[in-house]
Amino acid sequence: MKLFYPSIIVILFVLSIFDLIVGVINDAVNFLNSAIGSKVASRRTIMIFSSLGILLGSILSSGMMEVARKGIFNPSYFYFSDLTFIFLSVMISDIILLDVFNTLGLPTSTTVSMVFCLLGGAFIISIIKMSSPLNHEPLHHLSQYIKAEKILTIVIGIFLSIIISFTSGALIHYFIRLLLSFEYKNRLKYVGVIWAAISLSSMTYFIIFRGLHSALQGFREDHLTGLSLCIQYFIKWIHHNFFIFLFLLFSTWTIISKIFVSLGYNILKFVVLYGTFSLSMAFSGNDLVNFIGIPIASIQSYKIWKEAGSPTAEKFNMKGLSDNVQVPSLVLISSGIIMILTLFFSKKTKNITSTELNLSRQNEGNEKFLSNSFSRGIVRFFLYFGNKFFKLFPKRFLVKIEKNFKQKIQQEDNVAFDLVRASANLTISSILISIATVQKLPLSTTFVTFMVSMGTSLSDRAWDRESAVYRVSGVLKVIRGWFLTGFIAFAMSGITASFLYFLKDWALIFFIFLIIFIFYKNYQKCKYQKLKEKKIIIEIGVMNLGKNFINKTSDILENFIQSIENIYTKSIKGITQDNLKNLQYNRTHFLKIKENFTYIQNTLIQVIRNNKKNESISAGILYLQKYNKTKDIIESADIITYRTLLHVINSHKPLKYRQKNNLMLLDHFMMQYFKLIKQITFYRNFKQIKLNHTIKIKILKTIEDQINQQVMGIIHQKYGTKNTLLMLDLLLQSKKITEKIEEILLLYHKV
């Protein structure tokens, strides 16, 4: 037991490294998306700017981990053992929670996660202490243990930051786009210079107050020396001469911007890279507490305990933790280096950034989220409201404004939005975070940057009637995830803390293995998803409808036909054997195939549009026809897998002996028919296609005979309603699949 608490301190520091990694993966979306979405530079260049910001932010970090030590609870009411279990439960819960969100590709707030993990752990330990026979305190004493006002302030900050960020992003960017339009390059010399100066000035002010000002918080003035003292006096001068400083800053950046534009350089590129640097610095300098605050607080607790002579941990009061303690610079710089390495080498960062880019992109493409009744209701309401609102303005006025929101040139497919919106995202986010910093209001950088991005995409008409319901649904899902983060973090940390409190080392061993297991499963899931997406994108996303088009589409068709053949056979076998397990597996397998086909459906227009040559027109028509036939086959397979599973899972009467034999015979003929198209796609013998009508006639004759038998069985009351409906679905969908396979064969025959 002597090594128990030292071992926990070591484990906490190891866990802090993992927490840094999962935290950076989650928060990378905050400062990378504007640069990545606009393709302002290569990914490597963007990462370099971000890395410089992270490193500088780490060096300038305040080093005061107030929230972790005493922001949520009162240390003087806890013993050393209590705080150790609270800190350990926070790290375990935070790592698991963030890794799950990263795997799902949903950005969440590391601040909210850490705060509610602290609250959950402290709440449960407080309840245990209060209800123990030795104390037996009344429930209202909980306010002495937990700082409820701080929690309420954070929750209010969450609501306000979401609403204000979205509204500000939408309204401010509307006027920015009105002035610059989508053809902004023609207006860079005048309006562009002014906008660039405003952006750079606001972000410079943001760097000073979110970086330098935050770095000096927690230090007493008599402890400041040298450079720190100069920075302190400079910040005080800015406070007293705010408008003069702002005028000087704006004038300086106006001159610099004008020089850049005169030399033919796109000043907005510099604005986006500079903004990426500033937000990276803010993230590193202020969110670092979310990752290393707990381990720092734990080692401070351990030092206090050791200096007191290592008394009984369950009786040693931790009021000494309330004092301010500075974190060593080496720890902060090391943390910054780990964050930079994660940024460069982690593949999950792309998974997180893709969510926001998918919801905010200007061009068409695959929608990541499905619509729901709530999102459809919101879209319908705003369509109705918009129609009524715009009737108040003259049509000539609206037409003039609309010209600035129309894209004359279609954007590149790999560019989510232009540099104007990217600069607006960074500037508005910087201004909002700066205001909150000066006013000492709690907010999450994730909430601000994400909602600003959603607001600017709304202003840019990226959420048109083709995509609005999906985008709104996606945003609502992300916001729901933010609030769920708080509830889940609270519950997870509370449960973990209670297990650690009562089971100690056994619980610790269990949770370590649990973290390893979850990391491994999420890694495997992420790896599988990437391989699947890569395979589909290679096959479809870059398809050229001219050269070797027939072979390429045949590869895709072969995979789907092979899959449908297996699914059809397993469905017939499963229903004749009344095997629920096989039918469930078969249905699950089919849904994966259907998901892959949905990607083809979503990229259909994009593939055809990317091939603009005249020789690709006929190939495009053929591609559409083949897609349509394959889609009909998929729909028939959907009905077959669903109806067979539904019949067995509801424990309806199994098929009669004669019906089973009939279906097995039909399956035999269907497999022969499937082989025809497999031979064509495998051997590529398109010029020697011979349509074998014999098998088709056998199939149609078998289906007709079985339908007649079914009718006669109904007349003689041999078959019930469920039996009849199932057989009709199987027979009619088999007939439909047969017809569609022949139509595909005819298409190849014409080619």
- The answer to whether 121 and 490 have CB atoms below 8 angstroms apart is no
Q: Which contacts (CB < 8 Å, 24+ apart) does range 493-496 have?
A: 493/89, 493/90, 493/93, 493/94, 493/116, 493/117, 493/118, 493/119, 493/120, 493/121, 493/124, 494/89, 494/120, 494/121, 494/123, 494/124, 495/124, 496/88, 496/89, 496/92, 496/93, 496/121
Which amino acid is it at 571? S
For residue 549, the model assigns a pLDDT of 54
Q: Each residue of 549-571: pLDDT tens digit?
A: 555 555 666 677 778 888 889 99
- Taking only the tens place, the pLDDT of each residue in 488-520 is 889 999 999 999 888 888 888 898 898 888 888
Q: Which residue has the higher pLDDT, 217 or 625?
A: 625
C-alpha to C-alpha distance for 557 and 555, rounded to whole angstroms: 6
Q: Which residue has the higher pLDDT, 103 or 123?
A: 123
pLDDT tens-digit readout, 596-617: 777 676 666 666 666 555 455 6
Structure tokens at 546: 């001219």
Distance (Å, rounded) from C-alpha 22 to C-alpha 99? 6
3-state secondary structure of 364: coil
Q: Give the Cβ contact number of residue 408 at 10 Å.
A: 8
What is the model's pTM? 0.74
pLDDT at 346 > cutoff 50:
yes
SS3 146: strand
Provide Rg for the chain, Cα atoms. Answer: 32
pLDDT at 635 over 70: yes
* pLDDT at position 440: 58
pLDDT > 70: what percent of the chain? 77
User: Is the confidence at residue 654, as pLDDT, over 70?
Assistant: yes
**Computed from CA positions of residues 731, 737, 740, 741, in that sequence, does the dihedral angle turn out positive or negative?**
negative
* pLDDT in the model for residue 286: 63
Q: Identify the bridge partners of residue 146 per DSSP, sorted by sequence position.
A: 73
3-class SS string, 414-467: CCCCCHHHHHHHHHHHHHHHHHHHHCCCCCCHHHHHHHHHHHHHHHCCCCCCCC
Residue 76 CB partners (closer than 8 Å, separation 6+)? 317, 318, 319, 322
Across the range 659-665, mean pLDDT stands at 87
The Cα–Cα gap between 2 and 556 comes to 64
Phi/psi for 645 (5° steps) reads: -65, -45
Q: For 689-707, what is the mean pLDDT?
A: 77
Residue 433 pLDDT grade (very low, low, confident, very high; cuts 50, 70, 90):
confident
pLDDT score of 82 more than 50: yes
Comparing CA positions, the residue from 67, 66, 63, 64 lying closest to residue 151 is 67
Residue 341 CA, chain-centre distance (Å), reads 21
Give residue 461's region: left, alpha or beta (phi > 0; psi -120 to 50). Answer: left
Q: Is the pLDDT of residue 34 over 60?
A: yes
**pLDDT of res. 557:** 62
Looking at residue 537, its pLDDT comes to: 44
Mean pLDDT, to the nearest integer, of 708-714? Answer: 82
Domains of the chain: 4-532 (no CATH), 543-750 (1.20.58.220)
- What is d(CA 294, CA 13) in angstroms, rounded to the nearest whole number? 9
Q: Best-predicted range by mean pLDDT among 118-127, 318-327, 392-401, 553-562?
A: 118-127
User: Which one is predicted more confidently, 543 or 37?
Assistant: 37
Per-residue pLDDT at 163:
86
Confidence category of residue 325, pLDDT binned at 50, 70, 90 = low
Which pLDDT score is estimated for 532? 56
Q: Quick: pLDDT tens for 155-193.
A: 777 778 888 888 998 899 888 888 888 888 888 888 888
pLDDT tens by residue, 365-417? 666 667 778 888 888 888 888 788 888 888 888 888 877 777 765 555 567 78
**Is 733 in contact with 639 (CB distance < 8 Å)?**
yes
Strand partners, 79: 317
Of 358, 414, 295, 416, nearest to 18 by C-alpha is 295
Q: What is the pLDDT of residues 232-269, one digit of tens each?
A: 777 778 777 878 888 888 999 999 988 988 888 888 88
Does 721 have pLDDT greater than 70?
yes
CA distance 285 to 61: 4
Residues 293-311: what's their mean pLDDT?
81
pLDDT at 542: 41
**Lowest mean pLDDT segment, chosen from 69-83, 453-467, 508-522:** 69-83
Gap between the Cα atoms of 341 and 24, Å rounded: 10
